[in-house]
Amino acid sequence: MDYSTLIKARRSVRKYQEGTSISDAAINEILLAAQMAPSWKNTQTGRYYIVKSPDMVAKIKAETLPDFNQRSSKNAPVIIVTAFEKNISGFEKDGTPTNELGNEWGAYDLGLQNAYMLLKARELGIDSLIMGIRDSEKLRKELGIPASQQVAAVIALGYSAAEPMCPKRKDLDEIRKVF
């Protein structure tokens, strides 16, 4: 699939087919795509917690997502919890932040990685939903995510049971200033 088609084909999917699974090979391909993203001084601070056993997927959804995200991710067979190692991306070797953004650079890197991941998933025919509304402390506890890492988005992966419309994008004139 060419790039223009791919970026238009990806949608946030909130209705998934029942009774599906995603192979380990596909999950690994998706993670390898994430690893190809650029990162601050190639620090690669993104971390991924793959939840795929049906019992654990059900538990994580029930205990860490609000009702509306539980409904949206229903039947999605895989949940990927994304995190990043803090105080590395955007920081000097002595631990001081390089500039005013500090750990926001870690979140920036993770967002780039996640974008690569979702596009690779779509190329493989797998749909996704990023969920930023989740209980990070419960996720930390359930998955043993260390204090050195910032918990970020939870990503549901599965096969769409609907054809979502593309939410309207702003006109270029609203987002750019040309000099």
Ligand X SMILES: Cc1cc2nc3c(=O)[nH]c(=O)nc-3n(C[C@H](O)[C@H](O)[C@H](O)COP(=O)(O)O)c2cc1C
Q: Name which of 36 and 133 has its Cβ closer to ligand X.
A: 133
Strand-pairing partners, residue 160, are 16
Report the 10 Å Cβ neighbour count for 98: 13
**Interface pick for ligand X out of 131, 139, 145, 156 (rule CB under 6 A):** 131
Residue 110 burial by CB count (10 A; 0-12/13-18/19+): exposed, middle or buried?
buried
* Residue 6 contacts ligand X per CB under 6 A: no
Binding mask 69-88 toward ligand X (x if CB under 6 A, else -) reads x--x----------------
Q: Provide the minimum distance between the beta carbon of 25 and ligand X in the complex, in angstroms, as a whole number.
A: 25
DSSP state for residue 74 in the 8-state scheme = T
The two structure tokens encoding residue 140 = 């930390």
Q: Would you give the end-to-end CA distance of the chain in angstroms?
A: 35
Stretch that binds ligand X, among 8-16, 31-39, 53-61, 91-99 (CB under 6 A): 8-16
What is the 3 state secondary structure string of 129-148?
EEECCCCHHHHHHHHCCCCC
CB 36 within 8 A of CB 178: no
Binding mask 132-171 toward ligand X (x if CB under 6 A, else -) reads xx-------------------x----------x--x----
Write out the binding residues for ligand X, residues 37-76 only, by CB under 6 A.
69, 72
| CB half-sphere exposure, 123, CA atoms < 13 A | 17
Stretch that binds ligand X, among 45-53, 75-83, 87-95, 131-139 (CB under 6 A): 131-139
Residues in the site for ligand X, rule: CB under 6 A?
Answer: 11-12, 14, 69, 72, 129-133, 153, 164, 167
